[in-house]
Structure 1
Amino acid sequence: MDPLTLLSIALAPGIFWVWFFYKKDKYEPEPKKIIIYTFLLGVLATIPAGIINSIFVPSSLEKAGILMIFFAAFIVVGPVEETSKYLAIRVYALKSKEFDEPIDAMIYSVTAALGFATFENFLYISQFGPSLIFMRAVTGCLGHAGFSGIFGYYLGKAKFSQPQIKKNNPVLKGLVIAAFTHGLFDFVLFTQTILALLFLPILIIIVYFLTKRLAEMSHVSPFKPSELTNFMCPNCKKNVLPSSNFCPECGFKFNR
């Protein structure tokens, strides 16, 4: 299969999930330019991560002992890849004036993660064939999005929280949790034993966390219209001040 076709196959799930999560930012969506650049920076983040991984992680873990697998997953791959994705949004998106609501940090982190996963997809299907893309679309893309969504959540809290919360260094906390979760996911897969079956419940929990936290961040958006401002007269359907006892247009009396 020619490289262009492989690239298209690798891109498809990543682009879909970027669009899917982008739509979660309902009230003040990010400019598409930032999303595109962040995705590309996520792709570039695979370079330092790949170099470090290749130095410290054996090319094949099939014959490695449990300690080496633990080291590879928890000490190298998890921390290195999550830090690389964090730096991918630190150099550009987090400096943007468009970073003006908590959910933005999650959108940035998920987008960079999907850029990272997309390049991984290309490498995997180049080596093992395009049929692998269906599994990668779920495990690779959603896994990376979920891991990085964790530190994105804490980044959003760090920027828009009270000073006492910022003192607890939520960014570092988010990175540590993301790296640990990523390491745990890879660890069970690297063992290639019955433990590998645990990847599915881990992935489900990660995706559940991601969707719940995206909803939470969207709910606290400063751009969310107040429910009170949307009060409408049930009789004439005109907008009415929340404090009104009757409609100034039709005279309908409200039952308060």
Structure 2
Amino acid sequence: MSVFSVLTAAIAPGVALLIYFYLKDRYDTEPIHLVTKVFLFGVMLVFPVMVLQRAFVHGLGENPFVFSFVISAGLEEFLKWFLVYFIIYKHTSFDEPYDGIVYAVAASLGFATLENVFYAFLNSASISSLIYRALLPVSGHAMFGVIMGYHLGRAKFDPQRRTRHLIYSLALPIFWHGVFDYILLTTKTYWVWFMIPLMSYLWIRSLWKVNRANAKSPLRVVHPEEQVKI
């Protein structure tokens, strides 16, 4: 494959997923320049993560559990959470619960996209391997972003449960990302039997969270007949 073909195949899944979740915002789509900015910040996170992960591997070893939940999931999700929380959480554009999903997914997919580009060129990846990565690592990062963003949105617009949802916004992505990595590290030959149910569950839950976040938008107009049902 040509360099352009490989680059396109590596970038396309992340961009496509970001557009998908961006268009799922029913009531007030976010400024494209701000979403792009967060995506690019996610891209830049790859470099400090690479350095820190190498240092952690030297210090903590390569035990599959420690690597999955601390060195990989813990570090990556914390830095993505840190980025979204300190750049976007108090921004005026973050004005409805679903916005948390948009920005967390943007940061996650920025990270996943550059990671995918590195993989494609360093491993001389084929189209089939890039399709595999689109279905698993790239979409996995999107799902972790949905979980993170959903709970950041709940934290901002549900003051009584703010602390709980802030904890969930970091702890749950780390947990599911850790489970994802642990399966791939420890089930070399039969990982598909674990991964298909896991990804199916994450997609179903993520789409539920998307609908739930939209339903809680303060910009949503509730018709009289809906108020009766509620």
Shift of 1:229: 9.6
**In the alignment, residue 45 of structure 2 is paired with which amino acid?**
A
- Hey, what's the Cα distance between the residues in 1 that align with 2:46 and 2:167? 21
Question: Aligned residue for 2:136?
Answer: 139
Question: Aligned residue for 1:33?
Answer: 33
Question: Aligned residue for 2:223?
Answer: 227
- Hey, what's the Cα distance between the residues in 2 that align with 1:136 and 1:201? 17
Give the unaligned 5+ runs of structure 1.
Answer: 231-256
Equivalent residue of 1:94, what SS? coil
Shift of 1:194: 4.7
TM-score by length of 1: 0.80
Q: Which digits, 9 at most, give the CA deviation of each residue in 1:50-108, with x for residues without a partner? A: 212222337xx9xx6xxx11110012111101011112223423232110000100111
Q: Does 1:215 align with 2:192?
A: no
Q: Which digits, 9 at most, give the CA deviation of each residue in 1:29-58, with x for residues without a partner? A: 101011110110111111222212222337
Shift of 1:157: 0.8
Identify which range, 128-137 or 16-25, moves more after superposition: 128-137
Shift of 1:6: 3.0
**In the alignment, residue 222 of structure 2 is paired with which amino acid?**
S
Equivalent residue of 2:114, what SS? helix
Q: Is the 8 A contact 1:48 1:84 kept in 2?
A: no
- Hey, what's the Cα distance between the residues in 2 that align with 1:45 and 1:87? 11
Identify which range, 207-216 or 192-201, moves more after superposition: 192-201
Shift of 1:133: 1.5
Shift of 1:4: 4.2
Q: Is the 8 A contact 1:46 1:84 kept in 2?
A: no
Question: Aligned residue for 1:201?
Answer: 197
Question: Aligned residue for 1:248?
Answer: none
**Residues 55-134 of structure 1: pairs in structure 2 closer than 5 A:** 55-57=55-57, 68-128=63-123, 129-131=125-127, 132-134=129-131
Question: Aligned residue for 1:175?
Answer: 170
- Hey, what's the Cα distance between the residues in 2 that align with 1:162 and 1:147? 23
Identify which range, 90-99 or 184-193, moves more after superposition: 90-99
Q: Is the 8 A contact 1:9 1:130 kept in 2?
A: no
**In the alignment, residue 152 of structure 2 is paired with which amino acid?**
L
- Hey, what's the Cα distance between the residues in 1 that align with 2:171 and 2:132? 27
Identify which range, 142-151 or 191-200, moves more after superposition: 191-200
Shift of 1:228: 3.3
Give the unaligned 5+ runs of structure 2.
Answer: none
**In the alignment, residue 145 of structure 1 is paired with which amino acid?**
A
- Hey, what's the Cα distance between the residues in 2 that align with 1:48 and 1:201? 32
- Greater Rg over alpha carbons, structure: 1
**In the alignment, residue 106 of structure 1 is paired with which amino acid?**
I
Q: Is the 8 A contact 1:110 1:148 kept in 2?
A: yes
Q: Is the 8 A contact 2:98 2:210 kept in 1?
A: yes
Give the fraction of aligned pairs with identical amino acids, expressed as a percent. 30
Shift of 1:174: 2.3
Question: Aligned residue for 1:158?
Answer: 155
- Hey, what's the Cα distance between the residues in 1 that align with 2:165 and 2:8? 37
Q: Is the 8 A contact 1:153 1:174 kept in 2?
A: yes
Would you say how many aligned residue pairs link Structure 1 and Structure 2? 221
Equivalent residue of 2:218, what SS? coil
Identify which range, 87-96 or 32-41, moves more after superposition: 87-96
